[in-house]
Amino acid sequence: MSAMTLEPTQVRLSRYGAQSMTAPLRDVLLRRPGPAFARAFDDPAHGFRYPVDIEQAQREHDSLADLLRRLGARVHLTGGNHLGPDSVYVFDPVLVTRRGSVRLRPGKPSRLGEEQALEGWLRAAGVPTLGRVEWPGTVEGGDTLWLRPDLLVVGRSLRTNTAGAAQLASIVGGHVEVVDMPYYRGPSDVLHLLSVISPVSDDLAVAFMPLLPAGLVELLAELRIRLLAVDMDEFETLGCNVFAVRPGVVVVAEGNPMICADLAAAGCEVHTFPARQIGLNGSGGPTCLTRPLLRDG
């Protein structure tokens, strides 16, 4: 069953803040795929791999939302059919800190406007705006990684530039480390920081080692965070894009049995969902599809 889309005036958050990738998830925002997503393959600039089956995409998205509810999160759905197909990947346009939201500025031109829409939803829901990344800065949420509530890692990539990283650091405060992402396959297939690493608890993460920035490897070692390595085949099927609902309880796209087995062997509770249309087709896993609004801790 699909969930009803909640308009901003119907949602009021008494608490907010998600300065962690793994603390218990209480509130999370999603955007169900609609007409723009259905047409995504028609424009090569969007980078979709094959024609979209919109009914299947919506079923997959509903499956993810229902799974998050079963795991104890309050799921909010936002509208936005006027936005482009990538707008289902709501992790990218904003951050939500304990002091308010940070409106980012996408480096992908076709995504400009998503950040304003989510900022509007958040303000109507009671979350003030802490700051905004402005031109010439660009930052996408996929290049941001909280290792501790006072330690944010920013990946400088083809979508997140030096000016944007500096603006974000000045807004969030605390300690901000900037690491460089490789060029990899270039602008048509951009590599985000969270494409190569996903924390699953305070001391454990999954990672695709060949593309992990050296500076981040050093930082993880200092923090004694151990890594489970994702192989190339499962890197290509979103096996490195793991979403923690709480420490050691994770959501993974179906079709990644090796990393799921490694996570289970490490003591994690692993849940999967179908993601051929909403995940593989648009290259966005469960982290990309969710914008945490409140995490405890």
Does the residue 6 lie in any domain? no
Give residue 186's pLDDT.
78
Q: Which two structure tokens, joined as six digits, stand for 166?
A: 């500096």
CA distances in angstroms from 42 to 30, 39, 48, 54, 99, listed in the order given = 24, 6, 9, 13, 40
Structure confidence by residue, pLDDT tens digits, 151-192:
999 999 999 999 999 999 999 999 999 999 999 887 777 799
Whether the per-residue pLDDT at 16 is higher than 50: the answer is: yes
Q: Of 55, 25, 14, which Cα lies nearest the Cα of 37? A: 55
Percent of the chain with pLDDT over 70: 96
Confidence category of residue 39, pLDDT binned at 50, 70, 90: very high
Does the residue 3 lie in any domain? no
- CATH number of the domain to which 62 belongs: 3.75.10.10
Whether the per-residue pLDDT at 1 is higher than 70: the answer is: no
Beta strands in 114-220 (DSSP E): 129-132, 144-148, 151-156, 175-180, 197-201, 204-207
Confidence category of residue 10, pLDDT binned at 50, 70, 90: low
Whether the per-residue pLDDT at 58 is higher than 90: the answer is: yes
Question: Residue 92 carries which DSSP code?
Answer: S
Higher pLDDT, 191 or 29: 29
| Domain membership of residue 234 as a residue range | 14-295
Give residue 3's pLDDT.
43
Does the residue 9 lie in any domain? no
Does the residue 1 lie in any domain? no
Does the residue 86 lie in any domain? yes
Give residue 84's pLDDT.
94
Structure confidence by residue, pLDDT tens digits, 216-232:
999 999 999 999 999 99
Give residue 46's pLDDT.
86
Residue 258 burial by Cβ neighbours in a 10 Å radius (0-12, 13-18, 19+) = middle
Does the residue 194 lie in any domain? yes
Does the residue 8 lie in any domain? no
Whether the per-residue pLDDT at 6 is higher than 60: the answer is: no
Does the residue 48 lie in any domain? yes
Total domains in the chain come to 1
pTM, 2 dp: 0.94
